[in-house]
Amino acid sequence: MLKHTLLLALLCSALYGRAQDEALLAWGKVLDATTHKGVSANIRYSSIPTGSIYGKFVDSTFSFPIFGVAKYEITAEAQGYNPRTVILDPKDIGQLRQVIRNIILTPAGEAIRLNNLIFSQGKAHIEPQSYSELDELVEMMQDNDRLVIQLEGHTDNLGDATANMKLSEKRVEAVKKYIVSKGVSKNRIKTKAFGGTQPLTQETTPAARNLNRRVEVRILKSN
């Protein structure tokens, strides 16, 4: 498949009248979040924001040629898993003129952790480096207007329990506000705060505390 796509990239480059070295290859795998094994999925991609370039696959891998600076949204859906959308940016080019982005799928019913969501210490202010991951969630909700989610906020389990609960409430509301600001209806976003009542680990090391501080997305309705 990869060899075929590389040939396609060169052909497209010639058709567009551009130098062959301007073609980039978008490439990635669809993986199970627990086993890290490949998952056969319905994969579709389209350019952002116009959607004028698009395609689809049924596979555990994907690859397609891209040109210019337009970003692409890539969505993977598989039976028994939550759908997931990622945004691929040509500026993230790596070796061999490839832009690599894997898609990690979690089992249906399980919450999806926003691993790159960062808040200011002890506050509900979302740091700018978090926007790219939130934008992926926005794209997924815009791509499926029946999708309803619940944002679930957690803090670590140290400190004042009441303060932790209020902080987790403010953080999920901040995430909801960001998503709504991008045009998603607020009625499609539920929120729930847990404070420090559901830690992933009871350890008190800095790494453990960071693991417990999180916002997760639970898909309530997808069709």
Give yes or no for residue 15 having a pLDDT over 80: no
Q: What's the rounded Cα separation, in Å, for the pair 99 and 25?
A: 6
- Options 2.60.15.10, 2.60.130.10, 3.40.50.620, 3.40.190.10; which CATH number does 2-105 get? 2.60.130.10
Is residue 8 very low, low, confident or very high in pLDDT (cuts 50, 70, 90)?
A: very low
Q: Which residue has the tokens 């740091």?
A: 127
pLDDT by residue (tens digit) across 50-95? 999 999 999 999 999 998 889 999 999 999 999 999 999 999 988 8
Question: Which position has the higher pLDDT, 140 or 4?
Answer: 140
User: For the chain, what are the domain ranges?
Assistant: 2-105, 112-221
Average pLDDT over residues 21-49: 92
Query: What's the pTM value of the predicted model, to 2 decimals?
Result: 0.83
Q: Are 200 and 110 in contact (CB under 8 A)?
A: no
Q: How far apart are the first and last CA of the chain?
A: 31
Q: What's the rounded Cα separation, in Å, for the pair 216 and 192?
A: 10
Average pLDDT over residues 166-170: 97
Give yes or no for residue 204 having a pLDDT over 80: yes
pLDDT at 6: 44
Average pLDDT over residues 7-23: 48
pLDDT at 223: 80
pLDDT at 11: 44
pLDDT at 23: 81
* Top-level class of domain 112-221: alpha beta
pLDDT at 82: 95
